[in-house]
């Protein structure tokens, strides 16, 4: 059931033939981004696409009251920003780093040229777009139908998978997203989030050490998220 709410396109680069991969590598211009630095903003015209080499990036929209709604977290190895170019539209959301990142930029001209020359890359991007759309639709449905407690449990499970790739010395998975960002992902206020996290900790479902959250009982959290 978790697969309905999980999306990543890390396979894109690895599944390309060597020649196609080299074309992409040659077109990449690396840039270092500080934590909380904007990459592109809603309504701007795209100049190219991005490949996240290290770090994590949030994708969000801002509602009429100025509240952030995080709709996705990108991890190392993912492409982003390409749907606006493929649809010939401006960006429909904002992306911002949530930790220090190294991000490769591929210009629109180079991206379209590579698409013309690589049938495999074109096919993989279509597959990725289709999967991303279905995951976003599922997440939007959850936000409108589930309780806040269910949404917190689901968000923690999604983030656990996202942070799983970032191995630590003791091989434990630590979610290091800020409480404000986690609240914006869940679609609730900080106070409500804090109360639910406190209850989860008391029930032995998670451990918390300042900003870090570790999931202890994934099975019970899956049940709370109503994924069975």
Domain boundaries, the chain: 2-130, 146-224
* Domains 2-130 and 146-224 agree in fold: no
Say what angle helices 179-186 and 148-164 make with each other, to 10 degrees.
120
pLDDT at 51: 95
pLDDT at 20: 94
Q: Cα–Cα distances in Å, from 224 out to 146, 152, 181?
A: 11, 9, 21
Say what angle helices 119-145 and 18-27 make with each other, to 10 degrees.
70
Q: Is 119 helix (H, G, I), strand (E, B) or coil?
A: helix
Q: Phi and psi at residue 194, in whole multiples of 5°?
A: -60, -40
Q: Cα–Cα distances in Å, from 7 out to 3, 64, 127, 132?
A: 8, 27, 11, 6
pLDDT at 2: 67
Residues of the chain where predicted confidence (pLDDT) is lower than 70: 1-2, 165-170, 228
pLDDT at 4: 76
pLDDT at 152: 96
Fold of the 146-224 domain: Arc Repressor Mutant, subunit A (1.10.10)
Which tokens sit at 223? Answer: 């049940």
pLDDT at 138: 81
pLDDT digits (tens, 9 = 90+) for 143-180: 778 899 999 999 999 999 888 866 555 678 899 999 99
Write the CATH number of the domain with boundaries 2-130.
Answer: 2.60.120.10
156 contacts 193 by C-beta, under 8 angstroms: no
């Amino acid at each position: 059931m978790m697969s309905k709410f999980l999306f990543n396109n890390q396979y894109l680069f690895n599944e390309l033939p060597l020649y196609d991969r080299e074309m992409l590598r040659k077109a990449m211009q690396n840039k270092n981004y500080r934590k909380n630095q904007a990459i592109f903003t809603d309504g701007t015209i795209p100049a190219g696409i991005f490949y996240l080499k290290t770090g994590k990036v949030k994708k969000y929209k801002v509602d009429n009251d100025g509240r952030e709604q995080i709709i996705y977290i990108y991890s190392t190895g993912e492409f982003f920003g390409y749907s606006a170019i493929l649809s010939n539209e401006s960006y429909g959301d904002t992306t911002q780093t949530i930790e220090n990142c190294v991000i490769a930029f591929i210009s629109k001209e180079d991206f379209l040229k590579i698409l013309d020359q690589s049938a495999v890359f074109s096919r993989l991007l279509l597959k990725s777009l289709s999967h991303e759309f279905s995951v976003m639709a599922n997440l939007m449905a959850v936000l409108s139908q589930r309780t806040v407690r269910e949404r917190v449990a689901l968000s923690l499970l999604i983030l656990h998978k996202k942070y799983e790739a970032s191995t630590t010395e003791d091989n434990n998975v630590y979610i290091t997203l800020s409480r404000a960002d986690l609240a914006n992902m869940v679609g609730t206020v900080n106070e409500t989030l804090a109360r639910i996290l406190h209850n989860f900790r008391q029930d032995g479902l998670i451990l918390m050490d300042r900003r870090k959250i570790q999931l202890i009982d994934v099975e019970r959290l899956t049940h709370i998220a109503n994924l069975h």
